[in-house]
Each structure stands twice: as structure tokens, then as C-alpha cells.
Amino acid sequence: MKHDEMHHEHEGYDMKEMHHEHQMDHSMHDMHHDHEMMDHDMGHMNHDMHGMHHDMGDGDMMMHGGHMMHMGNLKQKFWISLIATVPILILSPFMGMQLPFQTTFPGSDWLVLILATFLFFYGGAPFLKGAQGELSAKSPAMMTLIAMGISVSYLYSLYAFVANHFLNPQGHVMDFFWELATLIVIMLLGHWIEMNAVMSAGSALEKMAALLPGQAQVIDQAGHQHAVDLKDLKKGQTVLVAAGEKVPADGLIIAGQSQVNESLVTGESKAVAKAEGDQVIGGTVNGNGTLTVQVTGTGESGYLAQVMKLIKQAQQEKSKVEGLADKVAKYLFYAALVAGIIAFISWVFLADLNTAFERMVTVFIIACPHALGLAIPLVVARSTAIAATNGLLIRNREAIELSDKVTVVLMDKTGTLTQGAFKVNAVEVFDTVLDEQRLMQLFGALERHSSHPLATGILEYNQAQTIPDLQADNVQTIQGVGLSGTVAGQSYQIVTATYLQAQHIKFDQALFQTLAEKGNSISYLLQDQTVLGLVAQGDQIKPEAPAFIQALKKRHIQPVMLTGDNQQVAEKVAAQLGGMTVQANLKPEDKEAIVKDYQAKGEVVLMVGDGVNDAPGLTRADIGIAIGAGTDVAIDSADVILVKSNPNDIMHFLNLSHATNRKMTQNLWWGAGYNILAIPLAGGLFAGIGLVLSPAVGAILMSLSTIVVAINAMTLKLKRDA
């Protein structure tokens, strides 16, 4: 949660906690109504994760046409089909030609027929079932095209076998068993590769589940300590985490302090200092201190469960670019069907039935390019691997395609462009009764009830100055303003300058201007409409932020800073970043309106936020990026999650998406583009001028395009220079 959006410029102060609870409740509600609902406890979740990994690892399920299609065991199917293919390649001619490594023996053609029949019904089954699904949905696409290619190859080869052995032993009708076998094996390989990208996500998830300990040390109301299985751990219980132990569940530290290593969960390499009031994530490793933690999330409400839900959703996402491959396949299917029928009818009159059949079959087989089945999966697998190693979790692949069209980037100031680590630069007392120590005691009493960055800055200052603590009661959030509470029976409020102006409460505006122009966020302490004093805190710009803003400008993308902080602070930060549009004094709900305004002007908006109070804006934006992973990342709102809070990762996403889009488009052209010439040539359209594509040449072109597609996909790289 960013300080400048709430609270002292505090827009919606403790909304983080409220929104997070609401989000968790919402997520839990969704999951209860999801047919793939996760079990209620972490023990079962581990089991589910293992099962999910097993399913995905074996490639049991496959997305196609927007529906989950049962693929059988893809890995096993591929290897068994490959073993069956080798004898066919050795014993069967290639498009009618005998290759140097090929041989025959008496009865070898019968062996080829048996193996090809097995391949067609075993290896081809997923594609035949997929085609059935596409045709029943009246939307022929990739599966229908593959099914047509393998069915025509098999049935025509069966006819050729019967003709050569029984009908006309002296003549020779060319078979396509060689092509049938390679088509099935390469298509299985393509879909296995596609599933592999999902499998690796499942594998990573299983590793995260393994981070959790088997048991937790629970402290009961009498103060006794006893071990409880993780699956029996409940929200609200208190657990003891000894030095070096794994944190058993998400929770809030109620006693103790330590350094916690969150690298395996969030990707942040540095150990994070944790003390009373801080949150910890299940699966992180405690350092040298002992922590007493109150459990806030187990099972489906825990961070790991939220990530698991995200992975399942990502698995079922189908981007427009993948849809484009299916669209290409659909056009090819219709084009081949029409061209094949025209060729057949034409050659029946121009030559004989055998020639007509051969031309039609050649058209059908050539129209089903091996490369098209690999075009997108190879790029997706490569892109997924690169993204993961660079701390990018792409939840919605549509974001990749849209990224090239982005014209405006809206981003939070705090945490995205600045460090979010506040330091007290000035304390001013206006009330003659108070001294500086008493003022800071009052600030601290209220701020202790929040884990907000501005609150942290004040508490750290008090600790450094050894200012004694005071107890505050009835501390509540003032929506979009700050905090209120009572200390020693007196009511106090922490508010912003914007609030004072709106309420017409007098304060030293000249002093405010002076402090704000130096880049300070300013909080005021108020009692009965009287300003008692102020605290001015400064934030530091992230070292990589200025280069990031310049990189966006170089791409002709307009950077816009969104902040709940005052205009002067925002303008100063913008100037230090090299100049950008500023929208200041915002409440959380204002951000969504700004996104809508830009979209109404025809802009394609990418919004970067912390994913909590920014959730409406992130959802509304064309692409929503949550920066800085943790329990508060709005998994339901963002399209992309950046594990590290580094603005350069946004450029990495834009660069990787651009490269991925380019590779996908290139591969679709390599995979299917040659059909523009190949189909008419295969059909004999230009036979009158001596131009006929022989099946052998067509097959060579097909094989070359497959090799080019594979090499092209593997050359995908992330260019780090923005």
C-alpha cells in the first residue's frame, strides 16, 4: 500500500488491510464455487499441487477452442508414436520416392500398414477428438486441419495399399504412410511443448508448496506450546517461529523481531527486517530472532494458494495471438477443402480418377503444415521461460499482444518511482502547550496501528530519538484522509493539507509550500479543529527510475504519475525524473476514472500499481501490472505481476512482449504462408504452363518451414537495454 495514495497524503490509509480482507473473502467465495475448488487446508493444498503438477507434467489436459481437451498422456503418446514411426520411415517411400536409407523386405508393406493404423488411432486420437469438438462448436481450427491431414493421408494410403495388392497388383498407387507418421509425431511434439510451459509453472508451484513445514508450533491460551499439523492450523491461532525455521502460514507478528528471507517466495534477495506489526508470508525462512505470529491466512486464503489459483487461471487463458493461429488454421482448412475439391473435379475430366485423387490428397496434406502446430507453442514456451527467469509472471497472455499498442503508462509515485522508505526531515510544533517529544508521542500512538510506509518513518524516528510510547484507543481510518483516535481521553486526527483546506482550518500555508517544494510528504496532527503540529517526511527516487521514464519517452509512450501526495511533491519528483505528466491529490477511486478518461481519448493504457488500492484501475486498464509481489498483490486485478519492485522490469516486459509478438507473427508466416503458393500449385492450377508442385517438393518445403520455425523460436531473447 503506498503512503502517498492514502493517509498524509494518506489517501485511504488502512484500506490495504480492509481491501485485502475483502479480496481474500471474495477469492474464497469464488473458489468455493469453482469446480476446481482447492481444499480448505494447506495439507490438502499440498496434495492438490502435487496432483496438478502430475497432470500437467504428463500433459493430460490441453486448451483448445476455449475448452479443456483431454489429450491423454502426451509425453507417452509422443515417445510411443516416435518408436512406431522409425520403422515406417525406413520401410515406406517418401512421397513416392525411395530415399537412400530406406529398404524393404517381403511383408514390410504389411508391417507399415499395421504400424500406420496403430499410429492413426493411438497418436492421432487427441487430434480426432479435438476436431470433433471444434466441428460440434461449428468452429473448425487447428485440430480440424490436423485431423483432415492425417485422415486423408491414412484413408488414401489404405486405398493405395488395397489397390496395389488386390485391385491392380501390376500398377502402383502412391501411399502417404511416411507423411502420416511424421505429421502425427510432429504435432504431438508441438502440443507437448505447449503443455511444457504450463508444466514448468506447476513444477515451480510444487516447489513453493514444499517450502511449507509439515507442522507448526501453536501457543494456546494458557501459554503452552504444542505441535499441530499444518492442515489443522486455523486462522487466528498464535504460532511460535524459532530462529532458522520456516514460517508455517501467512500472519502478523505480535512479538519479536528478526530478519526474514523471502527470496524463495517473492524473489527479493535481501533479508527483510521484521518486527511487531509486520506481516510474514508462509514459506519464508526466519532469521536469527524468535517470532510470535498470529495466523491471518491458511489454506485457500494463503499467499501460496492465491498464486496457485493464479496459475490455474493462466493455464486456462487463451490469448488473441493463439487465436490467430487457430484463425489461420480455419482459413487454411476452408481453402484446402475448396481447392482440393476443385482439383479433384478438374483432374477427373483432364486425366483419370487416380490422378484426381492424388492431386486432391496432395492439396489436403500440404495444407496441413507441420510448422503451424509448432509456430505458437515454441515461442510461448521460450517466452514463458525468459519471463520466469526475469521475475515476470504473465497472468493474461493477451497483455503480450496489447503491449505493442500501449500509448500511456500510468504509475504510482511511491514504491514504483520512489523507494517508499520515508525519513523524518522536519517536525514543527504550533501549540504552545506541547513540545516536540509530546507531539511525536501523539503521532506515534496513532501510527502504531498501521504498517504504512509513512507510519513506519515516524515510528523509526521515535525509536531513534528514544521517545516513550503512548497508548491510543479507538484508532480508525478516515477514508481518503488519515487516522483518528483517542489518547488519554483526548481525540486526535492525522490529516493532510488537502483536508485542512477543504475544512477551512487555518494552517501555515507558506511553511507548507516551503517543505512541500523540497519533496516532503506532510502530515498534520489535529485536535478540535486546531492544528497542533506537523511532520514532514522525504522519500528517495529509485536510481533506475529516471532511465525508465526516458526509455518510455523514447518509445513515444506518455508516462503519467499518479499520487495521493500533494502537487508540489509530485512536481518535484517529476522534475528529478526528467519531466512527466502529474496527477496529484488523488483518492484511490480517482485512478479508475483517470484510466477511463485516457481510454475515452483512444489511448491504450498500461497501469502500474501496488495491486491493492489500485485494483479498480488495474482491472480497468488495458494492461494492469502489479509491482512488488507479496500478500497484498491483487492477483485478481493484474494481468502481469513483477516479482521485484524494479521499474526496469516494466521495460523488460514491454521488450519481451514486442519480441514475442514479432516471433509469433514470423512463425505463423513461416508455418502457413507458403500455402498461398503451395495449395494452387499442388492442385495443378498452373499445370497448363508446366508448373505443378510434386508431393515430394511440397513435403520438403513443409519440413524446411518446420526447421525455420523451431530455430526462429529459439532465437527469442530479452533485450535489456530499453
The domain segmentation of the chain, as residue ranges, is: 38-211, 215-308, 392-418+541-643, 423-538
Q: What is the pLDDT of residue 62?
A: 44
What is the DSSP secondary structure assignment for residue 644, as one 8-state letter?
S
Matching CATH number, 392-418+541-643, of 3.65.10.10, 3.40.50.1000, 3.60.21.10, 3.30.750.24: 3.40.50.1000
pTM equals 0.58
Give whole-number Cα distances, 345 to 152, 359, 694, in Å: 17, 10, 19
Q: How far apart are CA 426 and CA 213, in angstroms?
A: 46
- Asked whether 702 and 709 are in contact (CB, 8 A), the reply is no
What mean pLDDT is predicted for residues 240-250? 87
Chain segment 331-368, per-residue pLDDT in tens: 888 888 888 888 889 888 888 877 787 778 778 777 76
Better-scored residue on pLDDT, 314 or 235: 235
Phi then psi dihedrals of residue 542, to 5 deg: -65, 135
- Among 223, 479, 200, smallest CA distance to 314 is for 200
Cell of 417: 518511482
- Asked whether 234 and 264 are in contact (CB, 8 A), the reply is no
Query: With 70 as the cut, is the pLDDT of residue 693 above it?
Result: no
Fold match between domain 392-418+541-643 and domain 423-538 = no
Chain segment 584-638, per-residue pLDDT in tens: 888 767 888 899 999 999 999 999 987 556 777 888 889 988 876 443 444 556 7
Instruction: Please name the CATH architecture into which domain 423-538 falls.
Output: 3-Layer(aba) Sandwich (3.40)
Sheet holding 258-261, edge to edge: 272-274, 258-261, 285-286
Give whole-number Cα distances, 578 to 354, 548, 575, 582, 721, in Å: 74, 10, 5, 12, 18
- Asked whether 437 and 467 are in contact (CB, 8 A), the reply is yes
What is the DSSP secondary structure assignment for residue 167, as one 8-state letter?
I
Q: What is the pLDDT of residue 671?
A: 76
How deeply is 444 buried, as exposed, middle or buried, from its count of CB atoms within 10 A (0-12, 13-18, 19+)?
buried
Quick check: helix, strand or coil at residue 285?
A: strand
Query: With 50 as the cut, is the pLDDT of residue 64 above it?
Result: no
In the structure, what pLDDT confidence band is assigned to residue 294 with cuts at 50, 70 and 90?
very high
Cell of 368: 496441413
Decide if 412 is catalytic.
Answer: yes
Number of Cβ within 10 Å of residue 636's Cβ equals 18
Query: With 70 as the cut, is the pLDDT of residue 210 above it?
Result: no
Which residues share a beta bridge with 427?
535
- Asked whether 562 and 586 are in contact (CB, 8 A), the reply is yes
Q: What is the dihedral of CA 688, 694, 697, 703, to 10 degrees?
A: 120
Number of Cβ within 10 Å of residue 375's Cβ equals 32
- Asked whether 650 and 548 are in contact (CB, 8 A), the reply is yes
CATH of domain 215-308: 2.70.150.10
641 Cβ partners below 8 Å, 6+ apart? 310, 392, 393, 395, 611, 625, 626, 629, 633, 635
Kindly tell me the sign of the dihedral angle through the C-alpha atoms of 119, 123, 127, 132. Answer: positive
Number of Cβ within 10 Å of residue 285's Cβ equals 18
Catalytic residue selected from 412, 539, 614, 639: 412
In the structure, what pLDDT confidence band is assigned to residue 479 with cuts at 50, 70 and 90?
low
Helix or strand (DSSP H, E) at 426? strand 423-429
- Asked whether 280 and 251 are in contact (CB, 8 A), the reply is yes
Better-scored residue on pLDDT, 650 or 44: 650
What mean pLDDT is predicted for residues 141-169? 83
